[in-house]
């Protein structure tokens, strides 16, 4: 069993003794976001027995998972914590980004980054990149086919008129026949019902994100839509790394960590790769000492 797992066995009585006079705690989620991790968060908070946390330092490293679970976890956590400080040593993908929208501050190590929030179909691995079962990719494929057809029609009509004596109407008919022979076999493989379902699902993360930003973080709805659009639609792959400077431009609350905290987050990035998945409260605040215990 990993050291992280062992640290989670520390009694809650011991954890409470290490807190400052304020009710400050540190929570770690190094796992996917699923119904199981949502339930575990409830059990962890319930066992802690503290109904109001002044500052919750939240160490997050996750491939994402269920948008609806991330949405519910955001509301649940903010019912207890007055302030949440996000600490990111490494990757934060998809629904984990959604959860992070409910944080008051975002602190990244040198290797920390967000990925886009575009919705994925089942059995998709974020680290692999942009594959056929990304809703954004399916939309992009369909739009590419349409775009190709329009451009091919335009080019072929001009060439037919230039090289033959056909009038414009007949040239368009001939061009359509030629382009259809190429495009139709591809379009015939697309199920309209599936396409519609994926297109509708493509806005799922944005819709949850807007509600988190407007309801929890009190951000104007119009601005919230702009922020979520930026995190969903503007990147070429689901595995794209979005760093702090760019996240600031989207108006996310990115802060610069102290050198000691940044160095510890950097060390955590590689050590976490060697650890089992972990979730739970740990001793002390997310200070240098606390994070050194995790990274050890």
The domain ranges of the chain are: 3-119+219-295, 135-199
Is the distance from CB of 205 to CB of 119 less than 8 angstroms? yes
Tokens matching residue 37 = 């991790």
Three-state DSSP class for residue 216: helix
Is the distance from CB of 97 to CB of 71 less than 8 angstroms? no
DSSP secondary-structure letter at 134? B
Tokens matching residue 153 = 């029609």
Q: Report the C-alpha gap between 88 and 266 in whole angstroms.
A: 9
Per-residue pLDDT, 266: 93
Q: Is the pLDDT of residue 126 over 60?
A: no
Q: Output 294 or 241, whichever has higher pLDDT.
A: 241
Tokens matching residue 102 = 């409910």
Per-residue pLDDT, 198: 60
Return the percentage of the chain with pLDDT > 90, whole number: 46
Helix then strand then coil, % of the chain, to nearest 5: 55, 15, 30
Each residue of 19-65: pLDDT tens digit? 445 688 999 999 999 999 999 999 999 999 998 999 999 999 999 98
Q: What is the pTM of this model?
A: 0.72
Each residue of 131-185: pLDDT tens digit? 445 555 566 666 666 776 677 777 877 877 778 878 878 777 777 777 777 677 7
CATH among 3.90.226, 3.40.50, 3.40.120, 3.30.70 for 3-119+219-295: 3.90.226
């Amino acid at each position: 069993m990993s050291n992280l797992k062992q640290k989670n066995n520390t009694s809650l009585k011991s954890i409470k003794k290490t807190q400052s006079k304020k009710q400050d705690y540190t929570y770690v989620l190094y796992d996917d976001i699923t119904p199981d991790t949502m339930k575990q968060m409830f059990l962890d908070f319930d066992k802690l027995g503290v109904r109001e946390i002044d500052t919750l330092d939240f160490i997050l490293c996750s491939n994402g998972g269920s948008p609806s679970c991330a949405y519910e976890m955001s509301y649940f956590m903010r019912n207890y914590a007055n302030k949440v400080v996000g600490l990111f040593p490494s990757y934060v993908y998809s629904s984990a980004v959604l959860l992070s929208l409910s944080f008051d501050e975002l602190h990244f190590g040198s290797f920390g980054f967000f990925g886009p929030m575009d919705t994925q179909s089942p059995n998709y691995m974020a680290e692999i990149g942009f594959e056929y079962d990304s809703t954004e990719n399916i939309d992009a494929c369909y739009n590419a086919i349409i775009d190709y057809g329009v451009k091919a029609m335009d080019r072929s009509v001009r060439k037919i008129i230039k090289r033959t004596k056909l009038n414009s109407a007949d040239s368009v008919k001939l061009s359509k026949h030629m382009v259809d022979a190429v495009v139709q076999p591809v379009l015939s493989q697309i199920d309209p019902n599936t396409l519609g379902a994926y297109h509708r699902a493509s806005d799922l993360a944005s819709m949850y994100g807007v509600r988190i930003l407007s309801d929890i973080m009190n951000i104007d709805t119009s601005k919230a839509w702009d922020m979520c659009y930026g995190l969903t639609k503007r990147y070429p792959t689901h595995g794209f790394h979005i760093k702090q400077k760019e996240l600031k431009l989207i108006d996310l609350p990115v802060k610069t960590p102290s050198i000691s905290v940044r160095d510890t987050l950097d060390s955590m990035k590689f050590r976490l790769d060697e650890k089992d998945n972990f979730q739970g409260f740990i001793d002390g605040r997310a200070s240098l000492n606390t994070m050194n215990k995790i990274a050890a």
